Structure 1
């Protein structure tokens, strides 16, 4: 149970790999969602242009949001591996709670603590 996972990159490289993967996932998913939303909300005859404009405006923002979440999660996960000196599911659990709390720090304490517990 305490054996290191050999299928993943070592920690400094893992963070950059996870940021890139999360950005790509967010950009692709955001593109599909906003393309369909742009098509639906555009007037007849301008649907393709409206869909592509919605993708250009919104997909990078969604990809960036996913990249921030993925980078924070990976950073907290690597920190937990360093502190605890083992890789187990508790690192991911603690990292997701810390990521949820960190992303909600701008809100009031109640919201941030709820987000930490849900993480």
Structure 2
């Protein structure tokens, strides 16, 4: 079933918390792997495990926090836009990417916020387009209409 017709999800306040926690976990686990390898590479021989663990402890929570901020903002904007528009379609996600990118870059000024907002919208539009194409390509075949199933009339 398409995610736009999925009514099994929790209501918006809980979705925001779930998405924020999931984004933190994803960032912390991915960051842990990344910084473990990076810490081992940058540590002297004989101290690689200790250097890896130190790098993971120092940097993974930061990356997890960055992911959580992005995920929480995105989910908050998505819920707000759903509430305002009273519909659930790809435009909500694209607009959420736009607003999230703009807010996260707002400290850099109007130009940086605009560029980041446009990048967020384009990235989400590409993701939605690929998702739509994959769903269409991998999904079950379309049902034929009754008019298409009639045998052709015999020609005289």
Q: Same fold (TM over 0.5)?
A: yes
Corresponding residue for residue 21 of structure 1: 22
Aligned to 2:58: 57
Larger of the two Rg values belongs to structure? 2
Counterpart residue number, 2:79: 78
State the 4+ residue runs in structure 1 displaced beyond 6 angstroms.
none
Q: Give unpaired runs (5+ residues) of structure 2.
A: 121-156
Give distance in 2, aligned partners of 1:98 and 1:116: 6
Report the 3-state secondary structure (helix = DSSP H, G, I; strand = E; otherwise coil) of the residue aligned with 1:106.
helix
Q: Aligned partners of 2:13 and 2:109: how far apart in 1?
A: 32
Distance in 2 (CA, whole Å) between partners of 1:28 and 1:108 is 32
Please report the TM-score for the alignment, with normalisation by the length of structure 2. 0.73
Structure 2 CA distance for aligned equivalents of residues 63 and 11 of structure 1: 22
Secondary structure class of the residue paired with 1:59 = helix
Paired with 1:5 and 1:80, the residues of 2 have a C-alpha distance of 17
**What is the CA-CA distance between 1:115 and the residue it aligns to?**
0.6
Shift of 1:4: 4.7
Q: Secondary structure at the match of 1:112?
A: helix
Higher normalized contact order (CA 8 Å, seq sep 6+, divided by chain length): 1
Q: Aligned partners of 1:68 and 1:90: how far apart in 2?
A: 22
- Equivalent residue number for residue 10 of structure 1: 11
| 1:28-47 correspondence runs (5 A) | 28-47=29-48
Kindly indicate whether the alpha-carbon contact (under 8 Å) linking 1:4 and 1:86 is maintained by their aligned counterparts in 2.
no
